[in-house]
Amino acid sequence: MLTCSNHNLCLLSVFLEEGLRSIIGLFHLTGLQWARGESLTVTVSPSFRNHFITRGAAKYPHLTSGSVNKIIQAQGTVVLCAVVEGGLEDSDDDEDHPPPPAENKQGSLVVYHHGRVLVAPAHCHQRETFRGSVMKYYTVCDVAFNPLNPRQFLSSGYDLVVQSWEILDSDDNDERKGLNAIHHFPFDSRPQDLIFSPDGSALAINCHDGTVRLYYQDLFEDMIDVHVPFKKFYVAPRGLDHAAGSTLWGMGPSKHLLFTSSEPTERDDFSGFHHAFDTCKGVQAVQFDALEAGDAASLSPDGATLALFTWGKDSTHPIRLYDVRRKVKEAYETEELEKFKVRPQISSNQGQGDTEEVNQASFSPDGRLLAVARNDNALHVYDVRALSRGPLCRFAHHDSDAVGGGGFGIVAARWIQGRDRIGIASGGNDGCVRLWEPALGSKSDIQGAVIGRTDFDVAHFSVGDRQSGEFPLVIGDAGGGMHTYDFANPDGIPI
């Protein structure tokens, strides 16, 4: 079957009976039955008589309180975190202490555990308002499984709290009894992303105050009373209104390094600071030469090359490649991304405004290609050996109600590795997850086959390993819905 790694979840490829060839790039979408209760049928190109269907596609509309921020899954468990109306952090400017809006409700942290839906009583506090004491629910920024125990996970929220959880087995249908809140860790600034090191021994948490906190403590231990970071790294100089942005761990020769960038919080500030911190010594190892605001970053699978994306004045969007094996601060190649296609916001389902952003970037498993998911609904693929030639492929989710920066665009791209081919799954604001194969070029008529569809923009998705009890595909949409997909052959036998 497929080869999988920690950085490339892969199971959207199945092997057909004729020649055991991968479906990646070989199928052509010829029929789409999408009424409720019907199946999505995908037929392979005419030379193949076999086809596969989605089996057991399930739809859970409005499962969460708002647009899904993140989906993770492991061994039959799916965890979703989401936005909630009025769920931003409390402001000192609210002198009259207004109550949260009526739409402020629980559902910003939801667990789907072997068929049971568990709505966590998470990231909520009693708040005194001019209408008395009311419960306020906060948006949950991120979730991450304990690398050593997939029945435990962390969540971070706009209530300035990181919470550790344990999933319990229970025959009770009470949705609140399947989760145990282990610990509650308050922060002095909003904790954002939860990033475990590849070996699971350390945890980095980037914060809105421009710091990254590094922990070697086990935040799931029952006896832990306080959380004291091993080190607090300042990504931007103290006093600047910068948040810590893209943060990722090194691998191989850079495994002891933590790469992070700053993002200004003021719209007229285009500056940024970009570092590699030595997590063993607790010091800065490199400050890279880029001066613009951070946007996204990706590390090659061999841990030797950092691709850094920034944005500056006059809508400039440089991409730089750094030799992090030798800790060189100067980029050895710099190129400008192609101009973003921006249109006014015309859909109530959009919220990105007129900003131009790279939502995510990721290297292919062999490190030769770089996929760039942009918020203008475009997916560009570069050959890092010929970066100056521009994109090798330009893919787009054309069927959206507004192509361009008015929506969140392509929120994520996942590389999928087959026996002899590689493909990319991407989710866009056309409500679809599509499959692409760079080797076939941009103009191939089998590019962009729909493998999942939602009622709203795709907000996040997860590709899983069915042999580990995961769904091949889980989609979270901007309306708070979850869609799960399984695959089977024409006889209904799971693949």
pLDDT band at residue 53, thresholds of 50, 70 and 90? very low
The string of pLDDT tens digits covering residues 253-305 is 999 999 999 999 998 999 999 999 999 999 999 999 999 999 999 999 999 99
Let me know: does 428 contact 409? Beta carbons within 8 Å: yes
Q: Please measure the distance between the N-terminal and C-terminal CA atoms of the chain and give it in whole angstroms.
A: 10
How many whole angstroms separate alpha carbon 310 and alpha carbon 336?
10
269 three-state secondary structure: coil
Tens digit of each residue's pLDDT (9 = 90 or more) over 163-209:
999 999 865 555 556 899 999 999 999 999 999 999 999 999 999 99
Residue 22 domain-assigned?
Answer: no
Q: Is residue 261 part of a domain?
A: yes
Residue type, 227: H
Number of domains, the chain: 1
How many angstroms separate the CA atoms of 41 and 237, rounded? 54
74 has a pLDDT exceeding 80: yes
- Location of structure tokens 């893209």: 246
Domain assignment present for residue 18? The answer is: no
Tell me the pLDDT tens digit for each residue of 390-439.
999 999 997 555 444 346 899 999 999 877 889 999 999 999 999 999 99
Of 162, 144, 158, 159, residue with least CA distance to 70: 144
Give the Cα separation of 207 and 228 in Å (integer): 15
Q: How confident is the model over 322-358, as pLDDT tens digits?
A: 999 999 999 999 999 999 986 555 444 444 445 799 9
Task: Classify strands 422-427 and 473-477 as parallel, antiparallel or unpaired.
Answer: unpaired
Q: Is residue 20 part of a domain?
A: no
The answer to whether 422 and 365 are in contact (CB under 8 A) is: yes
What residues make up the domain containing 295?
Answer: 27-90+97-488
Within a domain: 17: no
The answer as to whether 9 is a domain residue is: no
15 in a structural domain: no
Under 8 Å between Cβ of 426 and 397: yes
SS3 state of residue 254:
helix
What is the torsion angle, in degrees rounded to the nearest 10, for the CA atoms of residue 436, residue 442, residue 447 and residue 452? Answer: 50
Task: Kindly report the CATH number assigned to the domain that includes residue 439.
Answer: 2.130.10.10
Average pLDDT over residues 63-87: 97
